[in-house]
């Protein structure tokens, strides 16, 4: 509950007036609910007796006075009897009768006082005939119900405003957090992120709406009824409520079970979402390998797990409802037995326990029952929403720990300005592992000078991309430092650091926007002319003019699915060119570009890297020619460095890679030629 309290605090502190307004409206709803039910009393007392309010007041005044006079006489008699007897048992008996009649007399006196108080109102406003009194009561009920409806609707709208805005705030906070927290060695999956963002925040919003809506309104209605019942006979009410502690204990146990089930349901839902996203992303692989049945079965297994969890939740939710209904019915039954006994026997006590000041009348006991029945409706409604509150508590226990989690990659307290340092890039004794005890980079030392173009080659999995991940500060090294111009990059603001670098990765990420907007993504304030210039340099213009019916306004599709791999890579190269960075990193950025375009792209790459520090991860011989120096990596270390000619002589790893690449390119070229 402590995490849901944070959401409640946010809602109350930010949208206080909506909440205050809704509480006032809820109080009015509760009051009018009780007042409407209270109308049972005059119905039973007045209308069924065929009297008007004037006649009823007259009759009751006489009745009260008679009863008071009669009881006073009895009480005086007791005084005389006590004076006459010395027998202590008899005296105790007389005293007991004295106390009982004294309390009954007080009851009649109170009633008389109330009638006398309302007499001027009755004289002034009450209708003269019983039928008109009935009409007045019906009118009162109608107006009361209408006004209650207005307050109810106002209260619901105000609650919706406050809780929906809180949900929106929470969504923004979660979105902001997810933008940063997935850096470093955090293990938040896409499924988890999606479930946190949608389902969990939504469940918190729903719980808040219930908490500030029904959970205030229904108890107020209930308390209005309890107050009405207590006014009629508080002792009988306490007797009726004897069952409540047992029901509260059962409710407490059910609450814990429902919360735990909701938590496990959220985790299962996150796994299903993650699985679904994976299948959708790998849609064509699924189709190509005909694994639809396999995926269908896996999906069924996961959904069945979720189904059972939901069934269990619904079962326990229904138990809450049963518990609340039993509580309501139990209260009514207890009071029916006790109240019925009192009315039928015109008694004021049961087993010596006083339950009324004076014998109860039919009207009073009917109104008392009506008030108790009035309690069962809010109890039932609370039972229905109890599960949603538990779901909200469970969801808040997923969302708030995420919001409170420390960012794995943080900006320094006093950042160094990146403009004030030189641009040599140095990796100093860098050690790094993704998984404990499995080092990917081992004591790696490397310096890349400002303006130098360095190509990094090495077998798959040797750590080339990891090196770039550290330079981009997507991860921090476990040991050692990565420096730019002699300053540890952890001293720079992340935004400043990344603004100096343009990164073109092997797997190009495009958004479902136009080609123009996708290129502009690297510099949002670039003009259309600047975007088009970069597009021409990266040979995007070539395919846009010939293949795209909507030109630069053509949408790229989900993750660029409307474009070919080579087209996507050209767009991401254009993106990098537009950024005009100090450091450019190309991680297998031309791997999908065809041989004809490669020559052209190389011309533009040459222009692009001139005067900048460039890191090219590539095996392509043509790209290697652009490098001033080639670094050979193997097993997370720098194995050799030099020019192509030097490495051919000195590095067996380089020779192996170069020969493999040459033969692959040769084969591709000859295939192309024979196809032509």
Ligand X SMILES: Nc1ncnc2c1ncn2[C@@H]1O[C@H](COP(=O)(O)OP(=O)(O)OP(=O)(O)O)[C@@H](O)[C@H]1O
Which residues, numbered 430-469, are part of the site for ligand X (CB under 6 A)? 434-435, 440, 458, 460-466
Minimum CB separation of residue 466 from ligand X in Å reads: 3
Residue 285, Cβ neighbours under 10 Å: how many?
10
H-helix or E-strand spanning residue 280: helix 244-281
- Residue 30 vs 458, nearer CB to ligand X: 458
Which residues, numbered 331-360, are part of the site for ligand X (CB under 6 A)? none
Minimum CB separation of residue 186 from ligand X in Å reads: 11
Minimum CB separation of residue 480 from ligand X in Å reads: 16
Minimum CB separation of residue 676 from ligand X in Å reads: 31
Minimum CB separation of residue 187 from ligand X in Å reads: 9
- The SS3 call for residue 602 is helix
- Residue 505 vs 514, nearer CB to ligand X: 505
Query: Does residue number 375 form part of the binding site for ligand X (CB under 6 A)?
Result: no
- Residue 385 vs 440, nearer CB to ligand X: 440
- Residue 457 vs 548, nearer CB to ligand X: 457
CB 365 within 8 A of CB 229: no
* Site residue total, ligand X (CB under 6 A): 11
Which residues, numbered 464-493, are part of the site for ligand X (CB under 6 A)? 464-466
- Residue 50 vs 461, nearer CB to ligand X: 461
Which two three-digit tokens encode residue 559?
Answer: 């993750």
- Residue 391 vs 589, nearer CB to ligand X: 589
- Residue 64 vs 641, nearer CB to ligand X: 641
Minimum CB separation of residue 436 from ligand X in Å reads: 11
- Residue 541 vs 588, nearer CB to ligand X: 588
Which two three-digit tokens encode residue 634?
Answer: 């193997």
Through-space distance between the first and last CA atoms of the chain, rounded to whole angstroms = 71
CB 597 within 8 A of CB 573: no
Helix, strand and coil percent figures for the chain, each rounded to 5: 70, 10, 20
CB 578 within 8 A of CB 537: no
Minimum CB separation of residue 638 from ligand X in Å reads: 13
What is the sign of the dihedral through the CA atoms of 660, 661, 667 and 668?
positive
What are the distances in angstroms from CA 130 to CA 49, 60, 316?
Answer: 9, 16, 50
CB 616 within 8 A of CB 467: no
- Residue 440 vs 593, nearer CB to ligand X: 440
Q: 662: which residues sit within 8 A by CB, 6+ positions away? A: 621
Minimum CB separation of residue 469 from ligand X in Å reads: 7
CA nearest to 384, candidates 210, 164, 205: 210
Minimum CB separation of residue 653 from ligand X in Å reads: 12
Minimum CB separation of residue 576 from ligand X in Å reads: 19
- Residue 145 vs 507, nearer CB to ligand X: 507
Chain centre to alpha carbon of residue 252: 23
CA nearest to 619, candidates 664, 651, 570: 664
What are the φ and ψ backbone dihedral angles of 585, each rounded to 5 degrees?
-125, 125
Angle at 555 between CA 550 and CA 561, to 5 degrees: 125
Rounded Cα distance between 514 and 562, Å, is 11
Rounded Cα distance between 199 and 265, Å, is 11
For ligand X, the binding residues (CB under 6 A) are 434-435, 440, 458, 460-466
């Amino acid at each position: 509950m402590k995490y849901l309290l944070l959401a409640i605090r946010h809602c109350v502190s930010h949208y206080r007036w909506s909440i205050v307004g809704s509480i006032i409206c809820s109080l009015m709803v509760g009051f009018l609910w009780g007042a409407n039910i209270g109308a049972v009393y005059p119905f039973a007392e007045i209308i069924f007796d065929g009297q008007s309010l004037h006649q009823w007041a007259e009759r009751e005044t006489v009745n009260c006075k008679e009863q008071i006079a009669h009881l006073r006489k009895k009480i005086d008699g007791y005084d005389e009897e006590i004076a006459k007897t010395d027998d202590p048992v008899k005296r105790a008996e007389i005293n007991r009768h004295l106390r009982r009649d004294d309390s009954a007399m007080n009851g009649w006196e109170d009633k008389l006082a109330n009638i006398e108080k309302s007499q001027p109102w009755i004289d002034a406003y009450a209708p003269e005939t019983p039928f008109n009194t009935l009409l007045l009561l019906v009118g009162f009920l109608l107006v009361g119900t209408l006004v209650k409806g207005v307050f109810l609707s106002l209260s619901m709208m105000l609650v919706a405003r406050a809780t929906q805005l809180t949900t929106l705030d929470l969504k923004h906070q979660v979105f902001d957090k997810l933008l940063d927290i997935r850096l470093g060695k955090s293990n938040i999956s896409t499924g988890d992120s999606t479930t946190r963002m949608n389902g969990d925040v939504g469940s918190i919003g729903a719980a808040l709406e219930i908490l500030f809506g029904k959970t205030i309104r229904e108890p107020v209605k209930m308390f209005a009824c309890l107050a009405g019942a207590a006014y009629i006979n508080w002792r009988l009410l306490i007797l009726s409520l004897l069952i409540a502690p047992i029901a509260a204990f059962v409710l407490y146990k059910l609450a814990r079970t429902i919360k735990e089930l909701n938590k496990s349901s959220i985790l299962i839902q996150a796994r299903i979402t993650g699985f679904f996203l994976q299948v959708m992303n790998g849609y064509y692989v699924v189709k190509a390998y005909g694994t639809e049945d396999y995926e269908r079965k896996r999906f069924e297994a996961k959904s069945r797990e979720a189904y059972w969890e939901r069934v269990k939740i619904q079962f326990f939710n229904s138990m809450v409802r049963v518990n609340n209904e039993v509580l309501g019915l139990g209260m009514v039954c207890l009071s029916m037995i006790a109240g019925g006994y009192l009315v039928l026997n015109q008694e004021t006590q049961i087993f010596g326990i006083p339950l009324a000041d004076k014998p109860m009348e039919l009207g009073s006991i009917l109104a008392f029952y009506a008030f108790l029945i009035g309690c069962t409706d809010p109890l039932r409604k609370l039972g229905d929403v109890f599960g949603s509150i538990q779901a909200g508590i469970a969801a808040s226990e997923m969302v708030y720990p995420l919001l409170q989690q420390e960012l794995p990659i943080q900006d320094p307290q006093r950042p160094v300005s990146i403009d004030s340092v030189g641009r040599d890039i140095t990796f100093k004794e860098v050690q790094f592992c993704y998984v404990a005890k499995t080092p990917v980079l081992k004591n790696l030392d490397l310096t890349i000078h400002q303006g130098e173009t360095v190509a990094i080659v090495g077998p798959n999995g040797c750590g080339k991309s990891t090196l770039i991940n550290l330079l981009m500060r997507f991860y921090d090294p476990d040991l050692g430092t990565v420096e730019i111009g002699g300053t540890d990059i952890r001293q720079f603001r992340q935004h400043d650091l990344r603004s100096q670098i343009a990164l073109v990765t092997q797997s190009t990420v495009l958004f479902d926007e136009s080609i123009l907007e996708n290129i502009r993504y690297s510099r949002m304030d670039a003009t259309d002319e600047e975007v088009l210039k970069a597009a021409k340099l990266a040979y995007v213009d070539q395919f846009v003019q010939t293949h795209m019916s909507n030109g630069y306004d053509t949408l790229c599709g989900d993750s660029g699915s409307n474009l070919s791999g080579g087209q996507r890579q050209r767009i991401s190269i254009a993106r990098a060119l537009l950024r005009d960075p100090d450091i450019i990193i190309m991680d297998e950025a031309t791997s999908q570009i065809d041989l004809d375009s490669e020559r052209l792209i190389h011309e533009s790459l040459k222009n692009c890297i001139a005067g900048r520090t460039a890191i090219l991860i590539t095996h392509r011989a043509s790209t290697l020619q652009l490098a001033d120096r080639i670094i050979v990596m193997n097993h997370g270390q720098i194995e050799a460095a030099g020019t192509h000619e030097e490495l051919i002589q000195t590095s067996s790893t380089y020779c192996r890679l170069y020969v493999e690449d040459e033969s692959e390119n040769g084969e591709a070229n000859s295939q192309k030629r024979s196809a032509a």
